[in-house]
Copies of this chain bind each other. A is one copy, B any other.
């Protein structure tokens, strides 16, 4: 995974079991807002890349760190500001929105949007679906316009490969209890937040 010297985790000297497992709110407020506002990070955790230049499977090697998911700042695409296009060409295929967008709030106010996309190999609309997923976090227009200085345009993306072939728990009781753990015991809000229907823009 990249060059050892640039691995921010090596600099942190984390005890066993500590890892980057951010909530949606942390990604938006602590990382994307700061990035867009031009603030410097004392330790660079999330690198910059133009995600749409690459197939997703080459991205892990381009991340600063990561085990099963990788984070990037990517330039915000300005070509389709209204977000109405159904897919986005990238590498040998395209990203296609899936599910419903999620409004991310912070201190009771809307802070941004989380969108899920799936990578398809080939040309739309006849591409072949893969297990590569992107979660794209972007700030709301309103929050972006609030800054007094010029704002850069960035989105924050999480890339991971879905583990579709994973063996499932055998007992239904196990499934229930442990799925619940996955959704409630972790600090991340990957799973257990409220999803609001907000179009597929």
Interface residues of A (CB under 8 A from B): 12, 14-23, 26-27, 30-31, 41-43, 45, 67-69, 98-100, 116, 118, 133, 135, 158, 160-164, 166-171, 173-188, 190-192, 194-197
Contacts and interface: CB of A to CB of B under 8 A. Distances in A.
Contacts of A175: 99
Copy number of this protein in the oligomer?
A: 2
Contacts of A163: 180, 183-184, 192
Given A45-B17, A170-B100, A191 B177 contact: no
Given A98-B177, A116-B177, A197 B171 contact: yes
B166 A183 contact: yes
A173 B98 contact: yes
Contacts of A68: 184-187
A177 B41 CA distance: 31
Contacts of A118: 177
Nearest to A194: B167
A116 B166 CA distance: 20
A76 B164 CA distance: 37
B18 A14 contact: yes
A160 B184 contact: yes
Given A68-B184, A98-B177, A186-B190, A17 B23 contact: yes
Contacts of A27: 17
Nearest to A13: B12
Max chain B C-beta neighbours (<10 A), residue from A17, A26, A160, A179:
A17
A22 B19 CA distance: 8
B12 A14 contact: yes
B197 A190 contact: no
